[in-house]
Structure formats: structure tokens, C-alpha cells
Amino acid sequence: MKFFVDTADTAEIRELAESGLVDGVTTNPSLIHKSGREFLEVVEEICGITDGPVSAEVVALDHETMMKEAEVLRKIADNVAIKVPLTIDGLKTCKALTDDGTMVNVTLCFSANQALLAAKAGASFISPFVGRHDDIGFDGMQLISDIRLIYDNYDFDTEILVASVRHPVHVLESARIGADVMTAPPKVIRQLVNHPLTDKGIEGFLADWKKTGQTIG
């Protein structure tokens, strides 16, 4: 399963990339707002950190303006994936862009039928939002299972990109189901590393090592 980082914080992306944990990056308008930086400049900087897909979202609601915004965004770098909302205009934009060889991430997916539409429109990625789905009393991971089943039934190439990941169990379940990608905030990716028995083990080994009086090298 590929790991994308869901942030516009370039320092965090750099740090995780050094551990080989960044296969791509996702941003959205809220994350850009949080960064306090200029959108195009941040996307360009991120594209310089990773060769993987970097999702940059259009903000127009109509197809024509979405295409104009996508034109600006895709000029930034070859690894920009245009993020479009799951609306009829978004799907139309998805089809036009993917027909033209541009990667597209269809975002704000909350049903398996929506995911089916995105695949038919040729999406490179579909982003089902599991955390937000859980928030309103549905089972976000069931949505991922349903999409996996449907995409496998028809051999769709669209990659399932699990989004709105809030905790390590979302990551574990995504991997068990066979999602292609998950995108999580840096904090959640770091949580995957932590285990109290690892910490306790290191503590014990170092205490015993000290007793040997030896050094390495």
C-alpha cells in the first residue's frame, strides 16, 4: 500500500521522505489555508520533494473554469494530480484531463456508487473520506471494502486512495482490505511507529549494554 502524506507542511513532508514514507502528497484548500502560504508556491515546493503524485485541488464548480484552473496547476510539474470534486462537472473535468494524460484525483467520495462513476470517468485516484463518514455514524471502512469489491469485479484501474484517515486502525484496515493508497496527516504516520514494547525493549537493551562497559567503534 502506498503512503501519501496529507499536508501542505513542507518541513513535515521532507522529514517523512527521509524515512522513505512518502509515495505522494495530498493537499486541499483547508490545508493550504492552514499553511498560511501561497498555493502554487507550496505545490511547486512539494513537487520538488517527491516524484510521486501531488494532489492540488481546483476550487471552481463549473467544468470550464475547472479546466482553466487545472491548466495552471498541471504546468507546475509533471507529478501534479488534479483534484476535482465528485460532481457532474468534476467528472466531466476528470474525463477531459485523463483523456489528455493528466492524473486526476476525484475527491469527497462518500458512496460506492460515486466511486463507480469516478472509475467510469477514468479517474487515476478515488478519495473516499473514511473519517468524515465515521463522523456521521456510517462505517467508513465498509465503504472501502465495497469499492474494492466493485473495482475488482470490473478490473477498473482507478486506485483507491483512502482519505480522511484519523488514526492507525484506519491504516491497518485499509491495508487488510487492499486499498491501493492511504493518505494521512504526519501525526498519524508517526503514530504507526510507536509501540510501548518497542520503547521498553530499547530501554532494557541500553541498560544492559551500559553494564558491559563497551562502546561500538
Q: Under the rule (CB under 6 A), what is the footprint of ligand E4P?
A: 6, 26, 28, 107, 127, 129, 131-132, 163-164, 183
Q: Are 119 and 158 in contact (CB under 8 A)?
A: yes
The nearest distance, CB 209 to ligand E4P, in angstroms, is: 42
C-alpha cell at 165: 484517515
- Residue 48 CB partners (closer than 8 Å, separation 6+): 77
The nearest distance, CB 204 to ligand E4P, in angstroms, is: 37
Q: How many other β-carbons are positioned within 10 Å of the β-carbon of residue 158? A: 24
Grid look-up 491497518 returns 172
Q: Of the residues 75, 83, 210, 211, which is catalytic?
A: 83
> Greatest CA span in the chain, whole angstroms?
71
Q: Is 68 a catalytic residue?
A: no
Closer CB to ligand E4P, 50 or 164, in the complex: 164
Separation of alpha carbons 32 and 7, rounded Å = 8
Closer CB to ligand E4P, 172 or 202, in the complex: 172
In 3D, which of 64, 67, 105 has the Cα closest to residue 86? 105
Q: Amino acid identity of 211?
A: K
Q: How many other β-carbons are positioned within 10 Å of the β-carbon of residue 199? A: 10
- Residue 28 CB partners (closer than 8 Å, separation 6+): 55, 57, 83, 107
The nearest distance, CB 128 to ligand E4P, in angstroms, is: 10
The nearest distance, CB 131 to ligand E4P, in angstroms, is: 5
Closer CB to ligand E4P, 117 or 165, in the complex: 165
Closer CB to ligand E4P, 45 or 134, in the complex: 134
The residue whose Cβ lies closest to ligand E4P is: 164
Catalytic residues: 83
